[in-house]
Amino acid sequence: MTAPDGPAEGPSAAAARLTGRRAGGVRRAAGGPAEVELDDGRRVMVKRGEGARAVLAEAAGLRWLAAAGAVRVPVVHGWDDRWLVSDLVPEGRPDPAAASRLGRALAALHASGADAFGAAPPGGPVEAYIGAAPMRNVPGERWPAWYAEHRVLPYLRRAVDEGLLRADEAAVVERVCERLPELSGPPEPPARLHGDLWNGNVLWGADGEAWLIDPAAHGGHRETDLAMLQLFGCPHLDRVLAGYGEAAPLADGWRRRVPLHQLFPLLVHTVLFGRGYAAQAVTAARAALAS
């Protein structure tokens, strides 16, 4: 659906148009989505996207994750080239037992698979996003070559071009890319990834269960989601990882490969937020080479 032209539309009007329900009051999160109450008593989250492709990518990603029947994600009620309307998740407190269930659910999500590494969700765009950074969903057959070409090198080149990484630092990352076939561990089939699985995109519902929001979904390596979850911390992370391992044990050496998989999000953070993340990216690259 295409958003109407004319005067700027607010979240309440967008919610009404995209759900077909009368919308009432709006409660805005600081700098974030709006919470809107519909006339049937439901509360929905209304998010203004960064552009048509970004909205489509998020909507398609949420629907693809939901189709696996493995993890909790908000139901998408409608979207256009400006707005996304989805269920509101009432927030609660993290629960250790629920963290174990999240680990098992992530294992089931990953096992539901993807057509290829880099495969976009059905109906999703090739030119997608991770946060506010462009991310291309280009299919590939072998994970090491695909990861280097489409997940590491684009952000490395941008970081160098913008003066965020020095040439000697970039060379460390380039050595990782050259050695990826030997560093990446045993071959894995394409997994269905959330794709931006940091702590802020895991909501703990009022019942204590975990919900996943704001995906950058694509086909990838399952260790990438888990490495990203470890990058910025997660409540009861040990329970999440234990639950995952019980359901779908990871290949030997997976802990040594965590920095390899964290290299991608750290480079994304470098281009989005500046030089402060560059040192972490180089440290991760050196750790990957030493593994």
Residue 182 in any domain: the answer is yes
pLDDT score, position 51: 84
- Rounded Cα distance between 7 and 198, Å, is 36
CATH number of the domain encompassing residue 83: 3.30.200.20
Q: What is the pLDDT of residues 79-100, one digit of tens each?
A: 999 999 999 998 899 999 999 9
pLDDT score, position 134: 95
Q: Which long-range contacts (CB under 8 A, 24 or more apart) does 39-43 make?
A: 42/87, 42/88, 43/88
When pLDDT is cut at 50, 70 and 90, the band that residue 1 belongs to is low
pLDDT score, position 103: 98
pLDDT score, position 5: 45
The pTM (predicted TM-score) of the whole model is 0.93
pLDDT score, position 71: 97
Residue 4 in any domain: the answer is no
Q: Pick the last residue of a domain from 69, 87, 105.
A: 87
pLDDT score, position 27: 76
Question: Which distant-in-sequence residues (6+ apart) come within 8 Å of 84 by Cβ?
Answer: 46, 47, 49, 55, 58, 59, 76, 78
Can you tell me which residue has the tokens 């998989």? 261
Q: How many helices (H) and strands (E) does the chain have?
A: 10, 11
Residue 217 in any domain: the answer is yes
Q: Is 245 exposed, middle or buried (0-12, 13-18, 19+ CB in 10 A)?
A: middle
Q: How far is CA 257 from CA 68, 132, 226, 229, in A?
A: 26, 26, 11, 14
Asked if residue 136 and residue 82 are part of one domain, the reply reads no
Asked if residue 116 and residue 192 are part of one domain, the reply reads yes
Residue 125 in any domain: the answer is yes
pLDDT score, position 9: 78
pLDDT score, position 274: 94
Asked if 111 and 68 count as a contact pair (C-beta separation under 8 A), the reply is: no
Asked if residue 201 and residue 123 are part of one domain, the reply reads yes
Q: What is the pLDDT of residues 3-40, one digit of tens each?
A: 554 446 789 999 999 999 998 777 766 557 889 999 89
Asked if residue 136 and residue 31 are part of one domain, the reply reads no
- Number of domains observed in the structure of the chain: 2
Residue 29 in any domain: the answer is yes
CATH number of the domain encompassing residue 212: 3.90.1200.10
Asked if residue 66 and residue 121 are part of one domain, the reply reads no
Question: Which distant-in-sequence residues (6+ apart) come within 8 Å of 282 by Cβ?
Answer: 165, 169, 172, 173
Question: What beta strand segments (E) does the chain contain?
Answer: 23-28, 34-38, 43-48, 76-79, 83-87, 127-130, 133-136, 191-193, 202-204, 210-212, 218-220
pLDDT score, position 33: 86
Q: Pick the last residue of a domain from 87, 108, 142.
A: 87
Asked if residue 25 and residue 109 are part of one domain, the reply reads no
Q: Which of 5-14, 49-58, 118-127 has the lowest mean pLDDT?
A: 5-14
Asked if residue 175 and residue 81 are part of one domain, the reply reads no
Q: Pick the last residue of a domain from 34, 66, 87.
A: 87
Residue numbers of the domain that contains 29: 11-87
Asked if 188 and 219 count as a contact pair (C-beta separation under 8 A), the reply is: no
Asked if 88 and 213 count as a contact pair (C-beta separation under 8 A), the reply is: no
Asked if residue 121 and residue 16 are part of one domain, the reply reads no
